Amino acid sequence: MLKLMSVPVSNLGPNLTVSKLCLGTMTFGEQNTFPQSLRLLDQAFHAGINFFDSAEMYPVPQRAETQGRCEEYLGRWIRQRKIPRDRLVIATKVAGPSGQMTWIRGGPTCLDASNIMEAIDNSLLRMQMDYIDLYQIHWPDRYVPMFGETDYDPVRQYPSISIDEQLEALSRAVEAGKIRYIGLSNETPYGVMKFIQAAEKFASYPKIVSLQNSYSLLCRTFDSAMAECCHQESISLLAYSPLAMGLLSGKYFSPSGGPEDARFNLFKGKYSEGESRYNLSNKVMQAAAKEYLNLAKTYGLHPVSLAIAFVLRNPLVASAVFGATKSWQLQEVLNACKINLTSEVIEEIDKIHSRFPNPCP
């Protein structure tokens, strides 16, 4: 059985370390039944993964009938297996303003104090836990270009809840023992710095310790301004979609277009967030992905190993947040932790990136 090295996360505290891989649970309750989810969780845990990520809105594609199942399954697994709570790092997220998920606090409409506290209490109830290790704002309570958008449009700004109010609510949750640490997700350098500035005004406010943003061979936007921000402020990156929603595995480029139960085939036309960012008809994206697949073949690497090893070599990455619906997919990611990319491979990766920069932002 492969044993992973745990990686300490900066400023999370002396008693909190996370594995280099974090199993994301957003397929649990939709693509994966409860027994299937149990087997994946067992496999991950026995391989050395102690870090598990969820969100109140999961699974995806999001719908009222399944909302919350990921958290529920995660909590049931811990209780059924009688795993000591201090052996796990459990992360989850509060959904930002949407207006589309009316079954979650009416939209959700905003991230005011009452919404944040209600979301935390509901997550704890679903997971049957006393506390959450890392609680994250899933996306900002303000307009930002995200999920495939790149250009900021000031006209689209809307009234939003102040960062002070959001941070004050999270501070109360920390003081109450409901959460231990806080993080952001799908954020910008501006947002990260505003949270840091707000925390510096009041000694009782918790500091942001992590940022969960997309990072992969096809999306290296983090490496510009955000990398400096996180480095200077000792914030760790939790890199989600290290396989670019499966594109970097190569499965969608087979003559058949990939397995019928692959996410983009199974939910075609029903998963706008994923399809807008990882657009299978995007010729630039296709060309870039195929270049990386050919590079892996040239150097005798599994394409999953190339993609995961690239993400993990970044010194600012504390953990790569990945998903798997099948045992063999999980094992492919575990195997990637054995790989150290040579300088020659990295040079070739950078050449491809210079030709096809960030086709999946």
Active site residues: 58
Alpha helices in 48-188 (DSSP H): 69-81, 113-127, 163-175
Paired tokens of 69: 């199942």
Distance from C-alpha of 199 to C-alpha of 179, rounded to nearest angstrom? 16
Number of residues that this document lists for the chain: 361
Distance from C-alpha of 54 to C-alpha of 28, rounded to nearest angstrom? 10
Distance from C-alpha of 317 to C-alpha of 103, rounded to nearest angstrom? 34
Helix (H, G, I), strand (E, B) or coil at 94: strand
Can you say how many angstroms the Cα of residue 207 is from the centroid of all Cα atoms in its chain? Answer: 19
DSSP 117-128: HHHHHHHHHHHT
The angle formed by the CA atoms of residues 188, 194 and 200, to the nearest 5 degrees, is: 140
Distance from C-alpha of 312 to C-alpha of 294, rounded to nearest angstrom? 20
Distance from C-alpha of 249 to C-alpha of 243, rounded to nearest angstrom? 7
Distance from C-alpha of 30 to C-alpha of 67, rounded to nearest angstrom? 10
Distance from C-alpha of 301 to C-alpha of 81, rounded to nearest angstrom? 35
Paired tokens of 344: 């020659």
**Of 136, 186, 192, the residue nearest 163 (C-alpha):** 192
**Of 196, 192, 230, the residue nearest 314 (C-alpha):** 230
Backbone angles phi, psi at 260, to 5 degrees: -65, -30
